[in-house]
Amino acid sequence: MRIRSRACIPAWIFGSSTERKARVNVDQRIRWLLKPAIWIAALAPFAWLAWRAFSDDLGANPIEAITHTTGDWALRLLLVTLAITPLKNLTGWRRIVRVRRLLGLFTFFYALVHFATWLVLDQFFDWPMIVEDIVERPFITVGFAGFVLLTALAATSTTAAMRRMGGNWLRLHRAIYLIAPLGVLHFLWLVKADWLEPAIYGAIAVSLLGMRIPAVRDRLRFGRRPSRPAAPARNPAAAS
């Protein structure tokens, strides 16, 4: 007599379907909460900076305070953006990649404010001096190069741009792997002797980039893969 598989029993079908629906509902709730949380967390430093500026609480050199704060947060958010793919590989939660573009745009927002502060408030649109600084000061050279690449990524972050560019879109957006080292170098060469903080950022960037090496990436994925129980041996007597 053929034994019917448990997967075909209505109770098991109903239970499996219920579990899938529950997982989908949990994912939806997390996603609905995650994006607003990112908006709040990403804009909080800017709101605090604006409040300090409004309250005349930026210290003796407010332009430097704005430049450094926005630069720091641009680099931090860039590293958080880079962490999304390794986090997906470690946890198996694929839906988290949906917030990567939002994090990337906030990274560009802080980088734009950082650059605009230097361009407008520090240099006063003095174009000969701006060009001279970009060419002759290495920390500005690498910072400007990173900003140009980041601008290209932000400008092509839409779904329409992705469709229009096809395979070139992915090749362009791999520039983020270059932007991160440029950002760390920009910070390191700016502070010079006080290298501890940029060294920490550099170590994080190297770790996140290293997790994309195929051998490391596959090991991370394998580590989260659930082991399947061994299939029970067929009993010839069961078919009788």
Name the pTM for this structure: 0.81
Separation in Å, CA 2 to CA 9, 89, 121, 194, 232? 14, 41, 82, 75, 16
- The pLDDT of residue 194 is 84
Q: CB count, 10 Å around CB of 34? A: 15
Question: Cβ distance 81 to 100 under 8 Å?
Answer: yes
- The pLDDT of residue 33 is 85
Along the 240 residues of the chain, how does pLDDT read in single tens digits?
555 555 555 554 455 555 555 555 656 666 678 889 999 999 999 999 999 999 989 988 999 999 999 999 999 999 999 999 999 988 888 888 889 999 999 999 999 999 999 999 999 999 999 999 999 999 999 999 999 999 999 999 999 999 999 999 999 999 999 999 999 999 999 987 788 999 999 999 999 999 998 888 888 775 555 444 444 544 433 343
- The pLDDT of residue 236 is 39
Measured between alpha carbons, how far is 28 from 209 in angstroms, rounded to an integer? 29
- The pLDDT of residue 136 is 93
How many helices (H) and strands (E) in the chain?
10, 0
Which of these, 4, 112, 5, lies nearest to 67 by C-alpha position?
112
Measured between alpha carbons, how far is 184 from 57 in angstroms, rounded to an integer? 28
Q: Burial level of 46, CB count in 10 A (0-12/13-18/19+)?
A: middle
- The pLDDT of residue 227 is 43
- The pLDDT of residue 234 is 47
Q: Burial level of 4, CB count in 10 A (0-12/13-18/19+)?
A: exposed
- The pLDDT of residue 160 is 94
- The pLDDT of residue 184 is 96
- The pLDDT of residue 221 is 76
- The pLDDT of residue 233 is 45
Which of these, 88, 106, 94, lies nearest to 38 by C-alpha position?
106
Q: CB count, 10 Å around CB of 113? A: 19
